[in-house]
Structure 1
Amino acid sequence: MGARLARARSATGMSIDEVSARTRIRATLIRQMEQDDFSGVGGSVYARGHIRGIARTLGIDPEPLVAAYDADHERIPSPSSPSSASSFDPLRHGEGRRGGRHWGTAMVVSAAVLCLLALVAFLIPGSSRHDGPTPTAVTGAPSPSAAASPGAAPGAAPPSTAPPTEVNLRLEAVSAQSWLEVSDDSNHVVLRQILAKGDTRTLTAKALRVKMGNAGAMDLSCNGHKLGTMGAPGQVVTVLVALGGSGDCTVDGAAPAAGRSN
């Protein structure tokens, strides 16, 4: 799995230090992960989170890498565990058998006492319900505060959803292959490769500048909203995808003949 991370990083032309700066994961830890050494990540939960963060930064699907990690590092509990637990079973020793019989008797007596107490508790309130109409009158009418509470809940305002602060851009070669070059808001190239038909890449940044060698073959989506194609087949197009004032994705530089859809 570590070798797959290293190959994906090399394909993007990014160094370990660049990946570290984008993911805020220590460079030494990324280097260890690429060598299948996960001893310093702090456990499986952190390992999966680091794998997903690095994969998204490299523009690849993280789930196959997470599955590979789980297959390599998740272990079935040792068969020695049941035997060690069974060593504490008092029924496996002579003294335990004698103590087990006493313990079983005590459990039966305790259960009988609990059943008796439950029966008494049930009968005493039951007889008081027939003493007079007072208990019925008290339980039959709900208090004003109780009647008002259910009405207040539907009027509560739903929690507001904060607008996105970054562009999550998905690129897919839908009809043919296309070469791509993508740089972030710091003008760092985060992806440079040829996408075969059917391939997808997902990148996240404050803003992304995308140069496509076959704009008509590429389909773009931003923060879950479809942007469509940015130009005609075979056309070289560069677009800037960023966030507008309302948090919606904006596109600058698309060719006028592009078959865009919102």
Structure 2
Amino acid sequence: MSIGNSSADDRPSVGRVLQQARIGAGLTVDEVSTATRVRIPIVHGIEQDDFSRCGGDVYARGHIRSLARAVGVDPAPLIAQFDEEHGGRPEPTGAAPLFEAERIRSEPRRPNWTAAMVAAIVAVVGFVGFTLVSGGDGGEASTAADSTGTAKPSDTPEKGKPSKPADPKPDPTESAIAAAPANKVTVKLTAADRQAWISAKDHNGRLLHVGVLERGVSKTFTDSQRIDLVLGDAGAVKLFVNGKEVREVGEDGQVQRLSYTKGDPEAG
């Protein structure tokens, strides 16, 4: 009698999940390598479930976490599956006992009463001398203080003339995206309610950004001709193009490929 495979054996491998997510996001291995700084041969090896190039299980877990975030999947289940298939997560090594060096404590210093008495006598003599010298000049000092505190005629407003009104406060300046230059294409992306995976390229195909945009974080891209976008979760992205908000970007979980040029984004 044969025994059927369990549900855990039917699940796709860690490398297969990462490869399918990368393809679904429209990314090449080179783009993922650039975004995660994981070398191309290691990315190829992990997608084939070959972790020998990672340099150990600890580095393999770190590479899996980086690749998963770059292609927009949750790394926790993949790391748990890796641990299950490779003997479990290693137990943390206990901290070595610490030995505190014996401190050499200096003997407490005894108060120097002689120096304290000399300082007190000098202070008293100085105070008495200052009082005798400045005692006869008190009236003049008071008069000088009174004359100094008197306001000059030029400081007071002339009688019958209204005071000059304060300058009105300037209106708050508009945001940079609202003042986008007309001779360029400017795209601003914001992860409004949750994190979202995005990719942006200029008109030459040069990669400007790829990776996960955390919740509440914004990215702005500018080019002289065109910006090409790939949105891993279009419903999570708030999009402004050339100073104008694009209302219908896409649905939740939908992968969108968009291109924008100069001018009104809805005109074409």
TM-score under structure 1 length normalisation: 0.35
Structure ID, larger Rg: 2
More helix by share: 1
